[in-house]
Structure 1
Amino acid sequence: MRWPGASFGLLALASGGLLPQTAHGQRTERCLACVPEHVRDQVAVGFDLGQSYGTSVAYFHNGSAINLAKVTASPNYKALMKHATQFVNDDPPLTNDSQYAGQYLQQFIQSATRYLRMLGFRVSPPDPSEAAIVLTEVISSLKEDSEAALGMPIARVSVTAPWLRAWQDAAPDAHPINEALLLAGLTPFPVEPEQQVYITETQAILAASGRQFCQPFGSSEHVGQDEDAAQNHVAFLISYTGDTVYTGIQSAICFPHNPQNKGTRGRMAKGGNIFTDKASTQVSWSDETMAIIEDMLEDFIWYNQQVAGSNRTGLILFAGEGSGLPALQDATRGMVELFNSDTIQGYRGFQVIRSDGTNFAAAKGAAMWSRLRLEAAHYCRTSECGQGDQPFSPLDGLGQESCGSTPRSGQHDDEDTWLDI
């Protein structure tokens, strides 16, 4: 299916018109001086693999974005996502050198297989996992509908999803998401074994809302980021889709990095009618609403027990078509006011973050990550951005080349032209 309005939005961009956009982060024109025009002209696409449906967004160099597609997932997909989110590892921890050696040997074999393929050797990939086959259903549909909306093929996408506990330690070559991308005819972005295959929906929504960016935007290090912002923000996500509710908590580390496993958890529950009387002007708290509020309170307290520190700010995010319902938002606002008047131990306050379009906010954050990854090999040195003589790259330290101090925009050397992204 094609998402209504996607083709119109692309036509508006092509004809020089700009869709409404929000300033999300800033990169200087000087920092981008090395990015060639053909890279700037590429369309960056992000897929959100939500708990019950998938969405896609295209993100352009000038900061404009268009919604491309939304596809409903099968019952098998929903069951898989619930399992992956609430997975409990019953395996005993590694206790001796031989177990560690076996783990590293497996990672070495996977990496060697990948490089042999890159060199042109014919190395048969392993059979795809059952999880990858299930994920492929949604990814293939998103690819087909997104290509129809754009009127062009898509080669690579970045992915966001709920925090998937079951696959947190999976190597990139064996990760179900990467397997599914390949099965769908897409090429995953190259990552090192220790790097993330996807970003959490929480990180993606924060980015789409203009929050928690690494500075300078796109740096692989937390260069210039306020220490308080890096460590003392905790984000709780409410993703309500009608038939399923996902709630999860994590540290709000700067985009596009993912948080550590410690202090991160999520759960899924069956959805329902979020309020009992749609025609009523009174706020009616259903059992589902109260369960979400209780999860939020419990998770904020749990996080403070897991992660040392105090006086954090609790951020509350919404996603999914059900999250815009007045009853849920009114109930959440009421609880936030209560939290702020009688602060939970370890927190100095709480704040509700509203994003434009809760259905597509996470996919937009993933598309912003694609934008950074497409340009990664072309960024100039951070010395040209006023941040010291360090490589400026969002991923792996690429972009060592220097293009001189003359900005593409023609501005004076001692001034930066800021671009919204």
Structure 2
Amino acid sequence: MSHTSTKDVPRSDPQAPPPSNGLPNGGVGIGFDLSGTYGTVAISYHNGTTVNVAKINASSPYHETMARLSLHSSQHLHPPYINMDEEWRDYPRQLLRRWRKMRGLPASNDVGALSGMITDLRTEAEKFLGYRISSVVAAVVNLAAIYGEDIYDAFGYAGLEDIQIRPFNYPTYETMAAVAGHGLGLCEHYMDKEACEAEIRPISNMTNVLSVLYTRTALTVSLSRTSVAAWLYEHAPYKLEDFTLGYDARHDNPREEYCWEALRDAIRAPILRGSVHSRVRQPSKVLLFGECSGNPRFRRLLEEEIMSLFGRLPEILDDEPVFVWARGAAEFAKRKPFDFWKDDDLNEQLDL
């Protein structure tokens, strides 16, 4: 996927309707990234070009919300429910959400904070394209207490549809988007059902991927299992989210060395914790992203810990570290109208 600067695409009135060609948003794929520190938007075209459009720094309410949602103490019952008892116990909270929405309010304070970032990203996308947009794919950081209902309601409050890539309203997590953003786990001929299925079949075997996000305010680490880009399994013991170990935390310690040692421990923790009852999963690739992931000292520390844990250094993918989630989400959005469940004659119905 290539990168094009924003000046290469003409702009017009962002209030205009999209081009009429039978596809959402005029046939382009729009991806949002909702990380803890910032949000980004990218746009993918059917000619293979992907454009990094904008990066929006997080407001205080947004960042505070994401930091709180990273805590296991913030978890609560939510759909989809395991049984009727869970649904019944969550009923009062759901009633409150409906009451707020009926009065034109965000379903919760969390939804309000998320929708602020989404609205800002929408504004940037529409300014760039020159017309109104209706739907996007959003990649979100996989926090302990971020749920599909909040993402869905936040986009609804912002007047957008969050295109569902996974069933049961599960969010599109950052590792999925990063895999797609690097062009992995995808078929080339996505408009041709049979050709795409034939391409996907050989790459459908499971593999382990180590994902590391490092920003000014957060560190997240996960050892996930994936095959095609839209499939992901992240088991809680193999995950860590810490909003006290971002790059800026160096200034919060008496000595900077304390911060770097804490980072070492944090990188190791989810991998060792998850391997207590099984052998250590060997990752085939490392996905590295975040605005501070290119810091030389952090990179050296990360590679040392990977070598210590796994005895080798897998391939590290670090292209477009700030925009890779949004780029992968845009790729999903572009391909969504051609999903396998669509009619075989879809291509004949669309004016591409």
Q: Structures share a fold, TM > 0.5? A: yes
SS in 1 for 2:243: strand
State the alpha-carbon separation in 2 of the partners of residues 220 and 76 from structure 1. Answer: 43
Residue 115 of structure 2 corresponds to which residue in structure 1?
136
Q: CA RMSD in A?
A: 4.1
Deviations 1:139-166 (A, max 9, x none): 1111111211222222111000110321
Output aligned runs, 1:269-418, within 5 Å: 269-270=243-244, 271-273=246-248, 286-305=257-276, 308=278, 312-313=282-283, 315-340=285-310, 343=311, 349-376=312-339, 393=340, 397-401=341-345
State the alpha-carbon separation in 2 of the partners of residues 309 and 338 from structure 1. Answer: 15
Residue 224 of structure 1 corresponds to which residue in structure 2?
201
- Give the one of 99, 111, 129 matched to 2:85: 99
When residues 215 and 251 of structure 1 are mapped into structure 2, their CA distance, relative to the original with a 3 A threshold, is farther
When residues 215 and 286 of structure 1 are mapped into structure 2, their CA distance, relative to the original with a 3 A threshold, is farther
State the alpha-carbon separation in 2 of the partners of residues 37 and 249 from structure 1. Answer: 41
Residue 158 of structure 2 corresponds to which residue in structure 1?
184
- In the TM superposition, residue 186 of structure 1 has moved relative to its aligned partner by 1.2
State the alpha-carbon separation in 1 of the partners of residues 83 and 261 from structure 2. Answer: 48
Moved over 6 A (4+): 89-93, 103-106, 123-126, 214-222
State the alpha-carbon separation in 2 of the partners of residues 290 and 183 from structure 1. Answer: 42
**What amino acid is the match of 1:255?**
A
State the alpha-carbon separation in 2 of the partners of residues 136 and 322 from structure 1. Answer: 25
1:208 aligns with 2:192: no
Between Structure 1 and Structure 2, which shows a larger proportion of helix residues?
Answer: 2
**What amino acid is the match of 2:177?**
A
- In the TM superposition, residue 357 of structure 1 has moved relative to its aligned partner by 1.7
Deviations 1:181-202 (A, max 9, x none): 1221212336786242x31112
Residue 16 of structure 2 corresponds to which residue in structure 1?
none
SS in 2 for 1:321: coil
Residue 87 of structure 1 corresponds to which residue in structure 2?
72
SS in 2 for 1:235: strand
Residue 383 of structure 1 corresponds to which residue in structure 2?
none
1:233 aligns with 2:208: yes
Percent of paired sites with the same residue: 19
1:199 aligns with 2:172: yes
Q: Taking structure 2 as the reference length, what is the TM-score of the superposition?
A: 0.75
SS in 1 for 2:23: helix
Which one is further off, 54-63 or 257-266? 257-266
SS in 2 for 1:57: strand
- In the TM superposition, residue 261 of structure 1 has moved relative to its aligned partner by 4.4
Residue 390 of structure 1 corresponds to which residue in structure 2?
none
SS in 1 for 2:293: helix
- Give the one of 39, 46, 70 matched to 2:23: 39
SS in 1 for 2:153: helix
When residues 294 and 254 of structure 1 are mapped into structure 2, their CA distance, relative to the original with a 3 A threshold, is farther
**What amino acid is the match of 2:48?**
G
- Tell me, which stretches of 5 or more residues in structure 1 are unaligned? 13-35, 114-122, 277-284, 344-348, 377-392, 405-421
- In the TM superposition, residue 296 of structure 1 has moved relative to its aligned partner by 1.9
- Give the one of 161, 164, 174 matched to 2:143: 164
The structure with the largest alpha-carbon Rg is: 1
- Give the one of 107, 124, 142 matched to 1:145: 124
Deviations 1:244-298 (A, max 9, x none): 333334323431133254555331233235889xxxxxxxx84433323322222
Q: Taking structure 1 as the reference length, what is the TM-score of the superposition?
A: 0.63
State the alpha-carbon separation in 1 of the partners of residues 88 and 167 from structure 2. Answer: 16
Which one is further off, 250-259 or 267-276? 267-276
SS in 2 for 1:399: coil
- Tell me, which stretches of 5 or more residues in structure 2 are unaligned? 12-19
State the alpha-carbon separation in 1 of the partners of residues 108 and 134 from structure 2. Answer: 22
- Give the one of 224, 230, 233 matched to 1:256: 230
SS in 1 for 2:247: coil
Deviations 1:324-344 (A, max 9, x none): 11221122223334445xx3x
State the alpha-carbon separation in 2 of the partners of residues 51 and 243 from structure 1. Answer: 8
